[in-house]
Amino acid sequence: MPVKYILSDKQISTRMNDEEMILNHEKGEYFSLNEVGTLIWAALKTGEKTVEELEKLVLEKYDVNPEECRSDIESLLEELLNEKLIETV
């Protein structure tokens, strides 16, 4: 069964211009996401998502190499997990 990702309750976020601004309220640290990261974050706001679901969403909107897309999504998810901004279910 594929791993699913959800937003953590340790964060609050808001959109400013074309970027998502995220506060880890336990650490008091802010993070910002670029346009693609913001698209992924918006998808996670709607509920649990797999890497495959996120990849499909990005590939539908952007003309990018599928292998590079998947690698970039996995890197972003790993960083968000490490910062405790998302969780696995």
The structural domains of the chain, with segments of one domain joined by +, span 4-88
Position 17 scores a pLDDT of: 86
Task: Please choose, from the candidates 2, 21, 13, 26, the residue with its C-alpha nearest in 3D space to the C-alpha of residue 74.
Answer: 2
Distance CA 83, CA 63 (A): 29
Position 18 scores a pLDDT of: 83
Per residue of the chain (89 residues), give pLDDT as tens. Answer: 899 999 999 999 999 888 899 999 999 999 999 999 999 999 999 999 999 999 999 999 999 999 999 999 999 999 999 999 999 99
- The phi, psi pair for 85, rounded to 5°, reads -90, -20
pTM: 0.93
Position 20 scores a pLDDT of: 94
The CA-based dihedral angle spanning residues 21, 16, 63, 51, taken in that order and rounded to the nearest 10 degrees: 30
Task: Please choose, from the candidates 24, 49, 20, 44, the residue with its C-alpha nearest in 3D space to the C-alpha of residue 34.
Answer: 20
CATH of domain 4-88: 3.90.930.60
